[in-house]
Structure 1
C-alpha cells in the first residue's frame, strides 16, 4: 500500500478543515464523506470531488475500499463510530478529546488493543515545532527536573459562542496543555483544582483557570480564556513556561509572528496549526496527518497521540471541571 484511502466522518467546521488537509498529502486520498446533514454532504462532496457519500457511518465502514477514517463528530459522539471503525479493521484518526467520559475513553482504549488498524488521537500541539523542540530539550536533560509549568491558551470571543454551547474551555482547550505537560514530565497528575468565570451566559463558562499537582512534586497552572475582545488582532495567545532545576524553557506562539495590516485593521492569523496555502492546509495538522498516514502504511503503532495518553489528559481536565463546579480539590 502506497496510498491510504480515507473517509471523513463528521463534516462540521473542523471536519472541513480535515478535508482541506487531506487533499494536500500525496499518500492520502479523500475517498468518502459522511454526515447526517444531506445538503452539507452534497456541498462538500461537490467541492472536493468525492463520489462516495454516506449519511450512516456504518455504510462507510462496510466499504472494503476505505482503509481509514477521520472522526470529527462532537466529542460526546466519538465512542460508537471509533469502536465500530476499529472493529471494521480501519485505521482511525480520532479528534481530541478522545471521548466525553473517562469510561468511554477506556472503552476506546480497550478496542484499540484488539484492533487490526491503528488508533491515533489528534492532540495537534505535539506537532507544533516549538513544543517538539521543548520536548527534545527536556529529554536531553538541559533544564534538569521539571518543578513548575504555566500555560496560556486564549482565543477571541468571536470564535466561541457556538463552541461554548457544546464544550467548556478546560476540556476544550486546556486539554492541549494538559497533554503537553504530561508528555514533557512523563509523570502523572495526582490532584486538580480549577475555577471558572461566566462572562456571556452561554452553556459553558468563558474562562477556566486550572492548577495541577504531579506525582513527582511539580505544579502547573493553566489559563484558558475564550472571550478575548472582538478587536483582538491575533487568532490565539498561546504560551508555556517550563521551569526546571537547571534551566527554563519558554514557548510563545502568538502575535506578532505574522502581522497583516489592511483597510480594516491589524491581523495576526494562525500560521502554526492549519494555515491555508494554495487551496490546502499546512502546518501542524498536515504534519499530524502525515505521521498518521506513515504509521498506517508502514504498519507501525503510533508513539505520539496514543489513546492511553489522551485518556489521561481527558481524566485530568474532567477532574478540573468537577473541581470548578464543587470548589473542592479533586485527588486521583
Structure 2
C-alpha cells in the first residue's frame, strides 16, 4: 500500500484544517468525511470533492476502503470514536488532548495496545522545528541537567469566547507546553499547583498560571492567557526557556516573525503550525501528517505522539485545574 486512505471524523474549524492539510500530502487520500451536521457535511464534501459522507462514524469505520481516520471531535467526545476506530483496525490520528479524563485516556491507551492499527496523538508542537532543535541540543548534553523551565502561550480574546464554553486554557493550551516539557526532560511530573483568573464570566476562566515539580527536582511555570486585547497584532505569543546546569535554551515563535501592515492594522499571522499556501496547509501540522502516514504505511508504532505521553500530559494538566479549584498543591502518582 503506497497511499493511506483517510477519513476525518469531526468537521469543526480544526477538522477542516486537518482536511486542508491532508489534501496537500501525496501519500494520503482524503476518502471520507463525518459530522452530525447535514449542512456542514454537504458543504465540506463539495469543498474537498469527497463523496463518502457520513453522519455516523460507525458507518465510516465499516468501510473497508478506509485505512485511517483523523478524529477532531471535541476532547470530551474522543473516547468512543477512538476506541471504535482502533477496534475496527484503523490507524488513528487523534487530536490532543487524548481525552477529558485520566480514566478515558487509559481506556484509549489499552485499546491501542490491542489494535492492529497505530494510534498517534496530535501534539503538534513536537513538530515545530524550534522545539525539535531544542530537544536535539538537550539530548546532545549541551545544557547539562535541566533545572527549570518556563513557557508562555497566549492568544487574543477574539479567538476564545466559544472555546472557553468547552475547555479551559490549562488543558486547552498549556497541555502543549506540558507535553513538550515532559519530552525535553524525559522526566515525570509529581505535583501541580495552579491559579486561574476569570475575566469575562464564561464557563471556564480566561487565564491559567501553572507550576509543576518534576521527579528529578526541576520546576516549571506555564502562563496561558486567552484574553489578549483585541488589537494585539499577533495570533500567538509563544515562548519557552529551558535552564540547565551548563546552558540555556530560549524558544520564541511569536511576533514579529512576519509582519503585514494593511489598512486595518499590523498583522503577524501563524507561519509555523498550519499556514495556508495555494489552498492547502503547510507547517508543523503537515509534518505531523507526513510522519503519521509514514508510520501507518510501514505498520510501525510512533516514537513521537505516543498515547502514553499524551496521557501523562493530560493527567498533569487535569491536576493543575484541580489545584486551581482547591487552592492547594495536587500530588501526582
TM-score by length of 2: 0.99
Report the secondary structure of 1:209's partner residue: strand
Alpha-carbon offset, residue 299 of structure 1: 1.2
Alpha-carbon distance between aligned partners in 1 of 2:326 and 2:57, rounded to the nearest angstrom:
38
Alpha-carbon distance between aligned partners in 2 of 1:76 and 1:263, rounded to the nearest angstrom:
41
Report the secondary structure of 1:304's partner residue: coil
Alpha-carbon distance between aligned partners in 2 of 1:188 and 1:258, rounded to the nearest angstrom:
36
| Corresponding position of 2:286 | 286
Alpha-carbon offset, residue 137 of structure 1: 0.3
Q: How does 1:112-151 map to 2 (within 5 A)?
A: 112-151=112-151
- Over residues 62-121 of structure 1, what are the superposed CA-to-partner deviations in whole Å (9 max), with x where a residue is unaligned? 000000000000000000000000000100000000000000000000000010010000
| Corresponding position of 2:171 | 171
Alpha-carbon offset, residue 301 of structure 1: 0.7
Find out whether 1:319 has 2:312 as its counterpart. Answer: no
Find out whether 1:10 has 2:10 as its counterpart. Answer: yes
Find out whether 1:252 has 2:244 as its counterpart. Answer: no
| Corresponding position of 2:181 | 181
Alpha-carbon distance between aligned partners in 1 of 2:275 and 2:7, rounded to the nearest angstrom:
22
Alpha-carbon distance between aligned partners in 2 of 1:156 and 1:76, rounded to the nearest angstrom:
24
| Corresponding position of 1:51 | 51
Alpha-carbon offset, residue 139 of structure 1: 0.3
| Corresponding position of 2:273 | 273
Report the secondary structure of 1:322's partner residue: helix
- Over residues 255-277 of structure 1, what are the superposed CA-to-partner deviations in whole Å (9 max), with x where a residue is unaligned? 00000000111000000000000
Report the secondary structure of 1:144's partner residue: coil
Alpha-carbon distance between aligned partners in 1 of 2:9 and 2:243, rounded to the nearest angstrom:
40
- Listed as ranges, the gaps of 5+ residues in structure 2 are none
Alpha-carbon offset, residue 298 of structure 1: 1.0
Residue correspondences, number: 332
Alpha-carbon distance between aligned partners in 2 of 1:77 and 1:254, rounded to the nearest angstrom:
31
TM-score by length of 1: 1.00
| Corresponding position of 1:196 | 196
Report the secondary structure of 1:26's partner residue: coil
Aligned CA-pair RMSD: 0.3
Q: How does 1:193-272 map to 2 (within 5 A)?
A: 193-272=193-272
Alpha-carbon offset, residue 300 of structure 1: 1.1
Report the secondary structure of 1:254's partner residue: coil
- Over residues 27-65 of structure 1, what are the superposed CA-to-partner deviations in whole Å (9 max), with x where a residue is unaligned? 010000000000000000011000000000000000000
Alpha-carbon distance between aligned partners in 1 of 2:299 and 2:18, rounded to the nearest angstrom:
22
Alpha-carbon distance between aligned partners in 2 of 1:163 and 1:173, rounded to the nearest angstrom:
11
Alpha-carbon distance between aligned partners in 2 of 1:301 and 1:273, rounded to the nearest angstrom:
23
Alpha-carbon distance between aligned partners in 2 of 1:68 and 1:54, rounded to the nearest angstrom:
15
- Listed as ranges, the gaps of 5+ residues in structure 1 are none
Alpha-carbon offset, residue 200 of structure 1: 0.4
Alpha-carbon distance between aligned partners in 2 of 1:10 and 1:279, rounded to the nearest angstrom:
20
Report the secondary structure of 1:180's partner residue: helix
- Over residues 193-242 of structure 1, what are the superposed CA-to-partner deviations in whole Å (9 max), with x where a residue is unaligned? 00000000000000000000000000000000000000000000000000
Alpha-carbon distance between aligned partners in 1 of 2:228 and 2:189, rounded to the nearest angstrom:
29
Alpha-carbon offset, residue 180 of structure 1: 0.3
